[in-house]
Chain A
């Protein structure tokens, strides 16, 4: 889809999320539920390094650098419904396009978000990485995660899996869709303001 010139800055405008976008999301989601052929060692290595580096940016609180990993038409998605649900008619913990993701990072960095004073300390471990190259410029990466969070005297543990849709751009691989599915996404949670 052609984005009009005046909406070109995706950190301020959101023109690209329409019915086609949701439909493509559905299509890609179904691919993540399939069994994939064994990945080549180079692709697996590349994807693993990518996830490791991304995790480090989040855990170190370098959110502006993290934001740079995403494309203009990106989605950072943390569903509420187990398995992802139906985003057209259901809310998600996060369904962030580039603008709302920019907002989220800005919000975390205002120094005024009391739910992040003190800030969460997180450390995540990623494993069971699997890769499927849908086409030469689209790579699907599936992985499991555990995230330990410490904040305001409380340590919490989150488990789940990531579904990354990466696209190859002039700047290397970038994140088009990152979906973080929590094991207990629809259950009781306190202060879910950390970045997954």
Chain B
């Protein structure tokens, strides 16, 4: 953390983006609006924060289901092809012809052993190796194909199916970087009986006209649900019981739910203490299409195991944020994809799991259609209105001070900081990491 500075101590200039200047824009309790509005800041963070220095999430292994599968993704603004070769090795390959720069792959996913650039016909294996150049004699005798493969992402690593990449040769090992976030991610994965998570459904590619960090600010925010989601809570209450999330409205500062800052900008909200015992997740979920008939079938067919199966149809009750771009919410994998300083794509991948009767996955889909329809759009409307408010150049600061001076925070055994779910600690925490990345410190 930087030292506390007064807001009237002068505004940070918008001149050259020099090393060390970020400490003028990220204070202990507030952050400067230009981090959300300045295209120059955006250009720099999209290089440094999104892959240049940090690990970033790329995809789930189940999206590359067989040998020679590929998937188009982005690392910041850089188009990438993730490929699985015939031996199963996963690579991140820049989708940019070594010749004149055209993308060589224009489909979103599929299987291919090689990619031929549509512009001049250069052909590359799915390992990146250049294997064909039309009429190569035209390049003269010194032409060396072996040096002209597709450029690859320096490091690709996966934790139990979650694939990350970085361009930083010196980045710490993936699992060290995940740190205490690992056990939360493992909890989420191990909810599936065989730890098998499947990302196969078409995804919601939602977008909003606001900065990408607004999504990150919100993902760890236990303060907003009682207000931002009033429409959803009121809708759920039309049948007499507000269900899931209503507990955010009941003295959340003192409630049993907690926020944990997990290091390297990661954080998690744990909603599980608001529930009690098997069957409680299910009982508190807003109703899905087919719910009553399905519950009857499950209770009849699996009498000893029904509560466990029913709970698996409902979200994990943790919101895990892996900085900068992976948000695990309920049963969904949400990927933050910045498009411009004031435009962001949030891709919601619904997940299915192995080891359960197929009907369980069907009801999971119906559960995963609820919040994206009736919750997330109101959040994104508020993000857009924040972006609109931040147009006022003279009103420079965004507060992130909630929880300071309260004595709420305590450090746990593994080094996480535990606090009230309404603490804005998650913002202060990831901005420390953001500054380290932007200033080029080891991150």
Contacts and interface: CB of A to CB of B under 8 A. Distances in A.
Given A14-B289, A93-B204, A106 B358 contact: no
B96 interface: no
B231 A114 contact: yes
Contacts of A96: 289
B377 A192 contact: yes
A103 B292 CA distance: 17
Interface string B17-39: 00000000000000000000000
B209 interface: yes
A80 to B, nearest CB: 4
Contact of B377 (A12, A17, A18, A193): A193
B395 interface: no
A36 interface: no
A30 interface: no
Contact of A103 (B291, B293, B374, B378): B374
B228 A89 contact: no
B214 to A, nearest CB: 14
A39 B350 CA distance: 41
Nearest to B289: A97
A17 B290 contact: yes
B112 interface: no
Interface size range of chain B in the complex? 35 or more
A104 B373 contact: yes
A14 B287 contact: yes
A7 B294 CA distance: 13
A115 B374 CA distance: 9
A129 interface: no
A91 B289 contact: no
Interface in A72-120: 75, 79-81, 85, 87-97, 99-100, 102-104, 106-107, 110, 112-115, 117
Nearest to A96: B289
Given A14-B290, A80-B203, A115-B378, A103 B238 contact: yes
A47 B180 CA distance: 60
Contact of B289 (A17, A113, A152): A17
Interface stretch (B149-157, B363-371, B404-412, B417-425): B363-371
B287 A99 contact: yes
B388 to A, nearest CB: 9
B235 A88 contact: no
B200 interface: yes
Interface string B191-230: 0000000001111111111000000000000000000101
The 10 closest A-B pairs by CB, nearest first: A17-B290, A115-B377, A113-B231, A97-B289, A81-B202, A90-B201, A112-B231, A80-B202, A115-B381, A114-B381
24 contacts: A14-B287, A14-B291, A15-B293, A80-B201, A81-B201, A87-B362, A88-B358, A89-B352, A89-B361, A90-B200, A91-B201, A91-B204, A92-B365, A100-B289, A104-B373, A107-B231, A107-B374, A110-B230, A110-B234, A113-B377, A114-B378, A115-B380, A188-B205, A192-B377
Given A7-B292, A14-B292, A87-B362, 17 more contacts: A18-B294, A18-B297, A19-B359, A75-B289, A80-B202, A90-B202, A90-B365, A91-B369, A91-B372, A96-B289, A103-B235, A103-B286, A107-B234, A113-B231, A188-B205, A191-B377, A192-B377
